């Protein structure tokens, strides 16, 4: 393991957002549980604002199970980050680390709560359709945006009763690529506007929610021993919350979701998806 400052030099941040707050998303690989406990205690003493701390379970879209922890931390401003950066609190023995600067883009809770009123409809469709049917179309391929059949079956058979959090890193195509060449829209329009809105509704109707959504600003601020799965430049992060892990495979039960998949495939270039649970 290496002693690394997990907090980035504030001078590396790109000043393009109209906000004083700084939000960091941090992947860590730590195998020593005592180190993790010490980190939490030290952060608590220094009043570091941990918005979320996830225990990473396994990868659903990607080549290997790698990361052990994922954190979202908020700082009041650059001066606040500078103080922490200069202190010793961020110097930790880790096997690997990757840090992103995030601009939160969470939807208004009023809108989310309104959609929750229609959950009985989602529960109805969940009961009358089979999840296993959805697995028949999955293959053990080299897709950059889908799980393999083995990965999907592992998720389907997951016995955990804890809430599941699906962490997604997203890279979109500059221009969407449809079989119908007459369609000319950007990858963002295809994925966010045409697929994303339907996916959001489907997650809510299945009893889920969104823990966090944000745009990634620039490149990774820190990238040490990161796996190929997460290396490189990403554009957005989304963390969906489900009542159980297998719910992610049931989105196609919701009417309208399947029709949106053509836009997902056309607009999404690369996706990393990891199943995690809350660290409490």
96 pLDDT above the threshold of 70: yes
**Alpha carbon distance 20, 72 (integer Å):** 16
- Bin 218: left if φ > 0, else alpha if -120 < ψ < 50, else beta: left
- Measured at the alpha carbon of residue 54, what is the angle toward residues 270 and 70, in degrees to the nearest 5? 50
Averaged pLDDT for residues 180-185: 96
101-137 tens-digit pLDDT? 999 998 888 889 998 998 998 888 877 766 555 555 5
- CA distance between the termini of the chain: 25
Mean pLDDT of the 23-41 span = 93
Torsion of CA 143, 146, 150, 153, to 10 degrees: -170
Q: Taking the C-alpha atoms of 251, 138, 194 and 17 in order, what is their torsion angle to the nearest 10 degrees? A: 90
Contact 258, 252 (CB under 8 A): yes
- Tell me which residue has tokens 């504030």: 10
What span, in angstroms and rounded, lies between the C-alpha atoms of 118 and 126?
13
Q: What is the pTM of this model?
A: 0.92
Compute φ and ψ for 113, nearest 5 degrees: -65, -30
Percent of the chain with pLDDT over 90: 75
Q: Is the pLDDT of residue 18 over 70?
A: no
Mean pLDDT confidence for 166-183: 97
pLDDT of residue 245: 94
Backbone angles phi, psi at 28, to 5 degrees: -130, 150
pLDDT of residue 227: 97
Alpha-carbon distance 165 to 54, whole Å? Answer: 8
Q: What is the pLDDT of residue 136?
A: 55
Q: What domains can you pick out in the chain, each with its CATH number? A: 2-103 (3.30.70.1150), 109-278 (3.30.70.100)
Region 194-222: what's the mean pLDDT?
Answer: 95
205 alpha carbon, distance to own chain's centre: 19
Average pLDDT, the chain: 91
Ranking 4-18, 142-156, 162-176, 231-245 by mean pLDDT, the lowest is: 4-18
Who wins on pLDDT, 12 or 99?
Answer: 99
């Amino acid at each position: 393991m290496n002693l690394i400052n997990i907090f980035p030099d504030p001078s590396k941040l790109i000043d393009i957002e109209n906000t004083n707050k700084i939000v960091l998303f941090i992947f860590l690989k730590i195998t020593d549980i005592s180190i993790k406990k010490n980190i939490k205690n030290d952060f608590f003493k220094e009043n570091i604002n941990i918005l979320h701390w996830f225990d990473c379970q396994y990868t659903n879209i990607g080549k290997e199970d790698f990361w052990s922890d994922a954190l979202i931390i908020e700082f009041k401003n650059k001066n606040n980050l500078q103080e922490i950066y200069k202190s010793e609190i961020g110097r930790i023995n880790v096997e690997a680390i990757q840090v992103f600067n995030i601009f939160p883009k969470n939807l208004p809770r009023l809108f989310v709560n309104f959609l929750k009123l229609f959950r009985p409809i989602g529960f109805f469709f969940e009961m009358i359709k089979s999840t296993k049917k959805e697995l028949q179309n999955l293959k053990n391929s080299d897709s950059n945006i889908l799980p393999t059949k083995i990965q999907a079956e592992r998720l389907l058979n997951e016995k955990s009763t804890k809430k599941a959090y699906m962490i997604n890193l997203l890279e979109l195509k500059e221009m969407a690529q449809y079989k119908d060449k007459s369609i000319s829209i950007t990858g963002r329009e295809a994925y966010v506007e045409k697929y994303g809105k339907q996916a959001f509704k489907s997650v809510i109707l299945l009893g889920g929610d969104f823990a966090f959504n944000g745009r990634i600003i620039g490149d990774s601020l820190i990238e040490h021993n990161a796996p190929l799965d997460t290396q490189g430049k990403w554009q957005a992060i989304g963390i969906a919350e489900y009542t159980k892990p297998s719910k992610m495979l049931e989105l196609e039960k919701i009417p309208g979701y399947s029709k949106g998949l053509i836009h997902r495939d056309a607009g999404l270039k690369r996706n990393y998806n990891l199943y995690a649970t809350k660290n409490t």
